[in-house]
Amino acid sequence: MAAEMEATETGGLAGEMEVEAYRRLFPLAFLERHLRESVRPDARRTDEARPITVALGAVSSAHGSALVRLGDTAMLASIKLEVMSPSYEAPDEGSVGLFAVDFPCICVAPFQVIWLIYSCVAWYSAAVEFHMPPICSPVVRPGRPAEVAPVISKTLEDILMSSGMLNLKELCLISGKASWLAYLDVYCLNADGSLFDAALISAVAAFTHLEIPLVSVGDDGRVFTVGGNEGKIKYEVVNREKRKITVTNIPFSLTCALHKDNILADPTAEEESIIETSMTVVLDSSDQIVSIQKFGGAVTSMATIKDCISLAKDRRKKLRGILSVEAMEVDSHSSDSVN
Amino acid sequence: MSAAATTGTYSPAASAGEKRRERKEELRRHLAEDADWPRADGRSFHDCRPAFMQTGPTTAASGSAYAEFGKTKVIVSVFGPRESKKTMMYSDTGRLNCNVSYTTFATPIRGQGTDNKEYSAMLHKALEGAVMLHTFPKTTVDVFALVLESGGSDLPIIISCASLALADAGIMMYDLVTSVSVSCFGKNIIIDPTSDEEAWQDGSLMVAYMPARKEITQLTLTGEWSDGKITNAVELCMDACTKLCDILRERLKDASSLAE
Amino acid sequence: MVGLSEGEKHFIRGGIAQDLRADGRRRLQFRAMSVETGVIPQANGSARVRLGSTEVIASVKAELGKPSILHPDKGKVSIFVDCSPTAAPMFEGRGSEDLSAELSVALQRCLLGGKSGAGAAIDLSSLIVVDGKVCWDLYIDGLVVSSDGNLLDALAAAIKVALSDTGIPRVNVSLSAATDEEPEVDVSDDEFLQFDTSSVPVIVTLTKVGKHYIVDATSEEESQMSSAVSVSVNRHRQICGLTKRGGAGLDASVIFDMISVAKHVSQQFMSVLDSDIAAAEEAE
Amino acid sequence: MEYVNPLTGFRVDGRRPNEMRQLKGEVGVVARADGSAMFEMGNTRVIAAVYGPREVQIKGQQVSSEEALVRCEYRMADFSTGDRRRKPKGDRRSTEISLVIRQTMEASILTHLMPRSQIDIFVQVLQADGGTRAACINAATLALADAGIPMRDIVTSCSAGYLCSTPLLDLNYIEDSAGGPDVTVGILAKMDKVTLLQMDAKLPMDTFETVMELAIEGCKAIAKYIREVLLENTKRLECQRCLRPDFVSGHFLQQTYMYRAIFVEIKAYKAAFGSED
């Protein structure tokens, strides 16, 4: 690599070669030339993150859903509510996403076996599912899930639980008898870097948009939805007032790629493929650190870690407007009755 | 932690089943008998749902398209000619690899989100006739479709959206493929059925058509049809496909004008 | 699957163009067909059909089950096809899954009719025992033992023969007081009720090679096919299902022409099949 | 449930303890296979097809340069057993039986005569009424013979059991699932050598010997029957080959008709060749 670096230094090789070919052939050199002028290939400053747009109620067949675009990365989160009998220890608490994995085909590729064992452990504790369908990136092939998907599912689930954002007591219907179970599925529609940040924002937005359907209990003990506008209601509506769940101290995350003492906030897929080390800082609404994740890669000094945390802090300030505003704004067509 | 909590989940809509069935029964009877009974969403029998199509939702793919017909939402991304799987044997013409999968929340009852083998095979047959396979020998073009929401006549919309994505990816094709399906209720034929109408149809017919070359690449039909009914159903589908194809062409024109 | 040299390909195409195929048949002529019923004693109905050297076995098994909530007054029928590796080495392991899935889907499309049950080969409401509670679930299984082309027609014929050979045991239900728990059902194994399989359609596949289309193609001829249309026609000359296979596009008029030819040929094929069924019934 | 009627000594299906079920063998049932056969023991019916010796397909396995690679796949049809469960492919039982059949047949095939080649044996069970393993081995032997693959000797197999203190030959499904011992023996008929012996129950030594003797008797009877089937098949092939006028089959007539047609065609071809696409 070093030899070819000198060649580009003198501008011999890069001069005539077309930029696109150069970008493909020598990606690291291409990036480093940009970083020397502290600018990035997509014309952002090193500490600048991509714009975020949030649209609520993207899926009409779900109780709560949100489509989030972080630059080009697009995430679609959807929550479906189902009724379950609460566990013995926590009679008055619902839970999020008890995900039962049943694998249709018996002979599984070795990787899927690990995923099967891993998911059995998560089976009984609340687990959230992060899907990477084959449409989102050239790396993913149908039939074999991407390696990074279970990792993101696990971290997403830990943070949603540990940040105390949700008060599971609000998911209870009749204490000890029936409570809500929220299946949270996050689909990555376009994978262009910092998937975890976009996934977390979309999950949070979906929960703010969540609307619990009006239900009442039938005589056989089974809960059923009431049409909402039906005149005669045989059975009294159980949860007339508990329709929206309160979302407190919203967690927010920022991923930074670390490359030789410069920090790239919110890397794109191309940058992520070049730079191995990256660090994710998760803060909650009162700027306390919820979690810091750094999976191996090059060693970094404490100073860099502090810089990342401060970067995350001011990024959260800028975005507080978006996260709280959309919490109030209920999208118009999400209120039609969901059967 | 007791395990009882997990197995007993059910979606609470069970009670409405009884009433919903009578309403469906009544809908079917009306559609079968009188000719001018308006459909649930106010369309006449020969009206398609408003088609919203757009290219390029996924930048990671070499070509992609998003289609929304009423409640049916589909994303297709095409990964340009790339080397095929190790297990594949040598072939001097290109290969098309299609895969259709549903999200867990696509259907009202929570599905598994598994791949739909039948639709993948049908998508492959519909597109095979239109793609110039000999222009990318020894390689494979991957066409992956994800149904975000299933609102009725999913396969035709997947086929039209896939051919738009292929065009967006710059894959050589003889012609764009558009596809429309009709449902038959008694002697009436309704076009572009929604999932409620599809659940109660007496028969259905789907045509995948290349308007410029006037060739049908895929035709499937179920239920009882007489000869005459087939001919005018296929004619109905073909001119609906031609109109849909003009919409596709406009999308490609604005996409390219946007690109400059 | 079939290795053919250029010379052989020309020979086949030239033959079809002159209405004289490799094995001496005309374009719209079927191969010799032999039908046998009751090949699987444990099944409620079974049949083996040999069309030239293509051999398939179909078995119908009936089990008691619960009707679906959407159609409480109808029984359920499911069709599965399996290609045995004895037919071709490439069907070994999971190799036969796509072909089996394709054949099962094509058969379901042609035999089960629309979702509301109209145009179904078997009258589903005759399968009901107790409305909403107990009904018969028919499992139709096809097995391809030896494959020499035209599997779909052979399977459809085998299913039609198996259904005519099927006997569903008469069931008397002792209506217990409580409505929702399962009523006891005892199955008498002497008298059986037969199906009337007159309305079960027959599938005719027209394979287009060059400019002409042929019926009942062998696997060599199928390897030369540009496209194929499988039409299922029942006794009242109604079309109960249609699948276009193969890649190349077809002009609409060609398809209508193929449908009319298929209707004409299917009547003749159905009469041959009915006489074979009658013969097989006595032979059993 | 008494499996042997104490008074008459007959079994559930009316057979005597040392009586075999009705055998039926047929050769050449699958046209495209190099060799194929169907074998019936009572209600158990199995079809075997042999493809090979042919070029090795799977690049993964290292190809031993001095002997043929024998591969086998055992598969049960969905309707073969009483209850209709769709068994997923490659479950443990069929993998085990595939291995058993492969090793049993490998013992008798002269693999060193066909180096760097592969022989595929596919066995499809149409109807399973006990003793499927034995029927598969007999069918495989017939199919290998039909494929003309050199073998030391024909391998035959039979099962035997021990219920109500009487040794029973060739168990059917009811006797097999009665929980008693089940001995499956596979022998090389002429050389009187045992290639397969499977027994899974506690049995005193002497009863084991009597049951095994009974099974070997069974195998010998099957070997005699198989030899008859092969002899009759060879006769049929022989007369088809020597084309005696009174026995010319319709198939042959079509062949001559076709050759004559070709001469006519060649002239037409030259003219038409240009127009043909």
CATH of the domain at C276: 3.30.230.70
Q: What number does CATH give the domain B33-259?
A: 3.30.230.70
Same domain, A289 and A225: no
> Do A179 and A77 belong to one domain?
yes
CA distance C118 to chain D (A): 28
Flag whether pLDDT at D43 surpasses 70: yes
Q: Hey, are the CB atoms on D47 and C145 less than 8 Å from each other?
A: yes
Q: How far is C191 from chain B (nearest CA, A)?
A: 32
Q: Which among B21, B200, B221 has CB closest to C115?
A: B200
> Is pLDDT at A286 greater than 80 in this prediction?
yes
CA nearest D90 in A: which residue? Answer: A107
Whether a cis peptide bond, with omega within 30° of 0, leads into C183 is: no
C219-248 average pLDDT score: 87
Question: Which of B104, B109, B123 to probe by mutation at the A interface, max A CB count within 10 Å?
Answer: B104
Q: Which residues on chain D are in Cβ contact (under 8 Å) with C210?
A: 276-277
Res A327: pLDDT: 47
CB of D254 within 8 Å of any CB in chain C?
yes
Full domain range(s) for residue C105: 12-175+182-283
Q: Is D277's pLDDT higher than 60?
A: no
Tell me: pLDDT of A122 over 50: no
Residue of B213 and C169 predicted with greater confidence:
B213
Does pLDDT of C152 surpass 90?
Answer: yes
Average pLDDT rounded to a whole number, residues C101-119: 81
Instruction: Give the pLDDT confidence score for residue B182 in this predicted structure.
Output: 92
Q: What is the pLDDT of residue C157?
A: 93
Average pLDDT, chain A: 75
More reliable by pLDDT, B205 or A321: B205
D87 near C CB under 8 A:
no
Beta bridge partners of B66: B54, B75
Residue D78: what pLDDT?
84
Instruction: Label residue C175 by pLDDT band (50, 70, 90).
Output: low
Which of 3.20.80.10, 3.30.43.10, 3.40.50.970, 3.30.230.70 is the CATH number of D23-242?
3.30.230.70
- Domain hosting A85: range is 43-210+245-328
For residue B128, the chain C residues in CB contact (below 8 A) are 247
Q: Is D269 on the interface with C (CB under 8 A)?
A: yes
> Do C210 and D51 count as a contact with CB atoms less than 8 A apart?
no
Contact A225 B76 (CB under 8 A): no
The subunits that touch chain B, with at least 3 C-beta pairs less than 8 Å apart, are: A, C
Mean pLDDT of C78-103: 86
Domain extents for chain D?
Answer: 23-242
Cβ atoms C37, C49 nearer than 8 A: no
- pLDDT at A173 exceeding the cut of 80: no
Q: How far apart are CA C284 and CA A171, in angstroms?
A: 65
- Give how far the C-alpha of residue B83 lies from the chain's centroid of Cα atoms, to the nearest Å: 27
For residue A196, the distance in angstroms to the closest alpha carbon of chain D comes to 37
Q: Is D91 on the interface with A (CB under 8 A)?
A: yes
Distance from CA of D177 to the nearest CA of C (A): 17
**How many beta-carbon pairs under 8 angstroms link A with B?**
149
State how many domains chain A has. Answer: 2
Within a 10 A sphere around the Cβ of A198, how many other Cβ atoms?
A: 29
Confidence at residue A323, expressed as pLDDT on a 0 to 100 scale: 62
Residues A240 and A312 both lie in one domain? no
Distance from CA of C55 to the nearest CA of B (A): 25
Q: Pick A120 or A132 by higher pLDDT.
A: A132
**Over pLDDT 70: what percentage of chain A?**
73
Higher pLDDT, C218 or B18: C218
Please indicate whether, in this complex, the C-beta atoms of B216 and C244 are within 8 angstroms of each other: yes
Cβ–Cβ contact D29 with C under 8 A: yes
Q: Are residues A126 and A140 in the same domain?
A: yes
C81 vs C99: CA distance, rounded Å = 9
CB within 8 A of B111, min separation 6: which ones? B102, B103, B104, B105
Q: What is the pLDDT of residues D147-182, one digit of tens each?
A: 999 999 999 999 998 888 888 899 888 888 888 888
Does C261 map to a domain? yes
The answer to whether residue C279 neighbours chain B at the CB level (below 8 Å) is no
Residue A7: pLDDT over 70: no
Number of domains present in the structure of chain C: 1
Percent of chain C with pLDDT strictly greater than 70: 91
Least confident of A93-107, C135-149, D43-57: A93-107
Q: With 80 as the cut, is the pLDDT of residue B240 above it?
A: yes
pLDDT given for residue A46 in this prediction: 84
Using pLDDT thresholds of 50, 70 and 90, give the confidence band for residue A220. low
Residue of D nearest to C149 (CA): D32
Say whether pLDDT at A6 is over 70. no
Best of C53, C61, C86, C209 to substitute, by most chain D Cβ atoms within 10 angstroms, is C86
The predicted structure's pLDDT at residue A232 = 44
Residue A111 has pLDDT above 50, yes or no: no
Domain boundaries, chain B: 33-259
Nearest residue on chain B to A74, judged by CA atoms?
B58
Whether C104 has a pLDDT exceeding 70, the answer reads yes
Instruction: Let me know whether A128 and A221 are in one domain.
Output: no
Give the residue on A whose Cα is nearest the Cα of B76. A135
Q: Could you tell me which chains touch chain A, where touching means 3 or more CB pairs under 8 A?
A: B, D
Mean pLDDT of B191-210: 87
Q: How confident is the model at residue A221 (pLDDT cuts 50, 70, 90)?
A: low
| pLDDT at res. B246 | 93
pLDDT band at D262; cut points 50, 70, 90: low
Task: Tell if the CB–CB gap between A61 and B105 is shorter than 8 Å.
Answer: yes
Range with lowest mean pLDDT among A56-60, A305-309, D26-30: A56-60
> Looking at residue A64, what is its pLDDT?
87
* CA proximity to C150, closest of C234, C215, C232: C215
Hunting for tokens 């249609």 — which residue is that?
A: C242
| pLDDT surpasses 90 at B70 | no
pLDDT of the residue at A301: 86
Task: Please give the pLDDT value at position A125.
Answer: 33
Return the SS3 of A257.
strand
The predicted pLDDT at position C183 comes to 61
Residues of chain C found within 8 Å of residue D49, distances taken between Cβ atoms: 85-87, 146
Q: Which residues of B touch C234 (CB under 8 A)?
A: 224
Listed residues A201, A221, A244: the one ending a domain:
A244
> Is 70 exceeded by the pLDDT of residue C161?
yes
Instruction: Judge if A96 and A55 occupy the same domain.
Output: yes
Q: What is the pLDDT averaged over residues C91-117?
A: 82
Burial class of B207 by CB neighbour count within 10 A (0 to 12, 13 to 18, 19+): buried
Is the Cβ of B13 closer than 8 Å to some Cβ of chain C?
A: no
Residues D143 and B5: their CA atoms lie apart, in Å, by 55
pLDDT digits (tens, 9 = 90+) for C251-276: 889 999 999 999 999 999 999 998 88
* C1, part of any domain: no
